[in-house]
Amino acid sequence: MNLEVIESDTIIKGLFNSERKMSEEIQPPEKEKQALKPVMSQVRNIGIMAHIDAGKTTISERILFYTGVNYKVGEVHRGNATMDWMVQEQERGITITSAATSCSWNKFKINLIDTPGHVDFTAEVERSLRVLDGAVAVFCSVGGVQPQSETVWRQAQKYRVPIIAFVNKMDRVGADFDHVVDEIKSKLGAAAIPIQIPIGSEEDFAGVIDVIKNKAYYFEGEHGIDVVEDEVPVEFLDVTQSAYNYIIECVAESDEKIMEYYLMNDKPSIGTLTNALRRCVISGSVVPVLCGSAFKNKGVQNLLDSVTDFLPSPIDIKEIQGWDVKSGKKITRTNGEGQPFSALAFKVMTDPYVGKLIFFRVYSGFLKTGMKIFNPRTRKTERIGRILKMHANSREEIQCVQSGDIAATVALKNITTGDTLCDINKQIILESMNFPDPVVSMAIEPKTVAERDKLYTALHNLSDEDPTFQTRVDTETGQTIISGMGELHLEILRDRLFREFKVSANCGAPEVAYRETITKVSEADGKFVRQTGGKGQYGHVIIRISPKGRGEGLTIENLVKGGNIPGEFIKPVENGLKEAAMTGVLAGYPVIDLHIDILDGSYHAVDSSEIAFRLAASIAFKEAVTKAGLVLLEPIMKLEIHSPEDNMGDVIGDVSSRRGYIIEVETVSNFAAIRANIPLSELFGYTTALRSLTRGRASNSMEPSHFELVPEAIRKKILES
Instruction: Summarize pLDDT for 260-286 with one digit per residue, the tens.
Output: 988 888 899 999 999 999 999 999 999
pLDDT digits (tens, 9 = 90+) for 201-251: 999 999 999 999 999 999 998 888 999 999 999 999 999 999 999 999 999
List strands edge to edge, sheet with 406-410: 380-383, 372-375, 420-422, 342-351, 355-364, 406-410, 387-391, 394-398
Average pLDDT over residues 167-179: 94
H-assigned helices in 477-601? 487-499, 567-583
What are the pLDDT digits (tens) for 480-503?
888 887 778 888 888 888 888 888
Is pLDDT at 36 greater than 60 in this prediction? no
CA distances from 685 to 214, 265, 486, 690, 691 (A): 51, 61, 11, 9, 10
| 663-697 per-position pLDDT tens digit | 999 887 677 889 999 998 888 778 778 878 887 67
45-101: pLDDT as tens digits: 999 998 878 888 889 889 988 998 876 675 655 555 566 556 665 566 666 677 788
- Say if CB 311 and CB 70 are below 8 A apart: no
pTM (whole model) above 0.75: no
Distances, alpha carbon 518 to alpha carbons 122, 164, 548, 601, in Å: 31, 46, 9, 23
- What number is the average pLDDT over the span 406-417? 87
The pLDDT, as a whole number, for residue 715 is: 86
> Mean pLDDT across the chain, nearest whole number?
84
CA distance 317 to 43: 12
pLDDT, residue 13, reads: 35
pLDDT at 93: 63
Strands (E), 284-354: 287-291, 320-323, 330-333, 342-351
From residue 108, alpha-carbon distances to 190, 229, 332, 337 in Å are: 28, 22, 27, 20
Q: Which of 336, 338, 357 is nearest to 346 (CA)?
A: 357
Higher pLDDT, 557 or 695: 557
Lowest mean pLDDT: which of 165-174, 320-329, 347-356? 347-356
Average pLDDT over residues 330-339: 82
State pLDDT tens for residues 442-478: 888 888 888 888 898 889 888 888 888 888 887 655 7
Identify the three-state secondary structure at position 400.
Answer: strand
Q: Say if residue 227 is exposed, middle or buried (CB neighbours under 10 Å; 0-12, 13-18, 19+).
A: buried
In which band, very low, low, confident or very high, does the pLDDT at 535 lie, cut at 50, 70 and 90? confident
Neighbours of 699 (CB within 10 A): 18
Checking if the pLDDT of 21 tops 50, the result is: no
CB atoms within 10 A of CB 295: 19
Q: Considering the chain, what percentage of its residues have pLDDT values greater than 70?
A: 88
Residue 525 in contact with residue 619, Cβ under 8 Å?
no
Query: Quick one: pLDDT at residue 22?
Result: 32
* Mean pLDDT score, 566-573: 91
